[in-house]
């Protein structure tokens, strides 16, 4: 009876946290649609979203500029945060994230190659990004195992692989300058000029990967016990680890294909959400998606409004926030191991 009551209390707490995060996402979304170089009243935003006033300036701004950009922010933020939560759990490394272990850079390289080889094949970009993200995480994992699979080795291997992949991106753009239109936004991370045509091919793989990851949350909890413990309980730990990393790569690749190489979302958000919901994988994944969407949407709004009418790419805003957070995390872990 006591365990049942405890479980009910936990579920109620999770629901309250989900509701608060969902309300935050809605508030950020409304602000993104209303604010900008041209302010649009909430009533006009609602009218445009429901199909009214199709000939007005407000309708064109909301439907063709701000709505696709907002959807891209929410998708990229939620996907990167979920990817980070999966990677950190599977690798048992709080410093691991799509931007720190070569996942984002691997996706960026394959996107650059795809744009150089087949510039008109827009639907291939998300697939290329996912393949590159998976290549990045598998390469880092292999190097870490060969050189000693410590947690700091994994991060250092990620830094090295990211540098190599970034050099590859620079080489592609040098030889084929038109490969990435708006290359600086892609490299830094930004959502200016994004369209629904570019967004939709990345939406369904990300959604499917999240659902599959959520269905494996119990297995992820067992993996947290360690490989030997998981295998003793009959779980195929190595195979499951590769499957989960593949799902994380699809999520990160989907985000990169629409928003470029946005960093730190997958590092910051899971840490914050663990303080709210704990280590259990299911609630952590759900809260990370909502938190990541709210964070990236808020940072994009901040980048647009801070020095309006000039715009700061969201990747710069995230770097300014994520860099100090990463340093703090390193210092905290150093003190814990002293």
Q: Is the pLDDT of residue 82 over 90?
A: yes
Q: Interhelix angle for 314-337 vs 281-305, to 10°?
A: 130
pLDDT of the residue at 77: 93
- Percent of the chain at pLDDT > 90 equals 21
Read off the CATH number of the domain in which 317 is found.
1.10.3470.10
> Hey, what are 83's tokens?
């990817």
For the ranges 41-50, 75-84, 307-316, which has the lowest average pLDDT? 307-316
Distance CA 27, CA 41 (A): 14
Judge residue 156's burial from the number of C-beta atoms within 10 Å of its C-beta, 0-12 exposed, 13-18 middle, 19 or more buried: middle
pLDDT digits (tens, 9 = 90+) for 121-179: 777 778 888 888 888 888 887 887 776 656 667 777 888 888 888 898 888 888 888 77
pTM: 0.87
Confidence of residue 335 (pLDDT cuts 50, 70, 90): low
Task: Tell which residue, 201, 237, 196, has the closest CA to residue 126.
Answer: 201
Confidence of residue 7 (pLDDT cuts 50, 70, 90): low
Distance CA 92, CA 270 (A): 13
pLDDT of the residue at 72: 92
What rounded mean pLDDT belongs to the chain? 82
65-83 mean pLDDT:
92
Check residues 103 and 289 and name the one with the higher pLDDT.
289
pLDDT of the residue at 1: 45
pLDDT digits (tens, 9 = 90+) for 170-203: 888 888 887 776 666 677 788 887 888 888 888 8
pLDDT of the residue at 23: 96
Domain count, the chain: 1
**Residue 12's domain spans which residues?**
2-337
pLDDT of the residue at 2: 44
For the ranges 50-59, 128-137, 226-235, 271-280, which has the lowest average pLDDT? 226-235
- Scanning the structure block, which residue is given the tokens 């394959």? 110
What DSSP state is assigned to residue 236? -
Residues constituting the chain: 338
Distance CA 35, CA 53 (A): 19
Q: Is the pLDDT of residue 8 over 60?
A: no
For the ranges 17-31, 50-64, 140-154, 167-181, which has the lowest average pLDDT? 140-154
Check residues 256 and 181 and name the one with the higher pLDDT.
256
pLDDT digits (tens, 9 = 90+) for 85-129: 998 888 887 777 888 778 888 888 888 888 888 877 777 778 888
């Amino acid at each position: 009876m006591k365990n049942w009551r405890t479980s009910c209390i936990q579920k109620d707490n999770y629901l309250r946290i989900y509701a608060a995060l969902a309300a935050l996402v809605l508030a950020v979304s409304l602000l993104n649609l209303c604010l900008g170089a041209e302010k649009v009243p909430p009533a006009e935003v609602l009218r445009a979203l429901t199909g009214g006033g199709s000939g007005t300036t407000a309708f064109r701004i909301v439907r063709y500029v701000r709505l696709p950009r907002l959807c891209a922010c929410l998708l990229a933020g939620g996907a990167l945060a979920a990817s980070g939560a999966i990677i950190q759990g599977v690798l048992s490394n709080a410093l691991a994230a799509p931007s720190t272990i070569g996942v984002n850079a691997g996706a960026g390289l394959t996107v650059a190659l795809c744009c150089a080889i087949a510039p008109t094949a827009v639907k291939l970009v998300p697939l290329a990004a996912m393949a590159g993200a998976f290549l990045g995480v598998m390469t880092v994992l292999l190097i870490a195992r060969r050189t000693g699979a410590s947690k700091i080795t994994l991060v250092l291997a990620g830094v090295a692989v990211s540098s190599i992949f970034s050099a590859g991106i620079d080489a592609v753009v040098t030889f084929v300058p038109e490969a990435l239109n708006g290359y600086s936004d892609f490299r830094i991370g930004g959502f200016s000029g994004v369209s629904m045509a570019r967004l939709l091919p990345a939406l369904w793989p990300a959604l499917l990967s999240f659902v599959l990851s959520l269905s494996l949350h119990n297995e992820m909890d067992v993996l947290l016990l360690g490989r030997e413990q998981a295998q003793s309980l009959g779980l195929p730990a190595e195979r499951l680890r590769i499957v989960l990393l593949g799902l994380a790569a699809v999520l990160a690749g989907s985000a990169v294909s629409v928003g470029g190489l946005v960093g730190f979302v997958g590092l910051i958000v899971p840490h914050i959400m663990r303080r709210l919901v704990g280590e259990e994988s299911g609630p952590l994944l759900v809260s990370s998606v909502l938190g990541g969407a709210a964070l990236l949407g808020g940072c994009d709004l901040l980048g647009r409004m801070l020095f309006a009418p000039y715009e700061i790419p969201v990747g710069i805003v995230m770097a300014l926030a994520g860099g100090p957070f990463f340093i703090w995390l390193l210092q905290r872990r150093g003190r814990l191991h002293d």
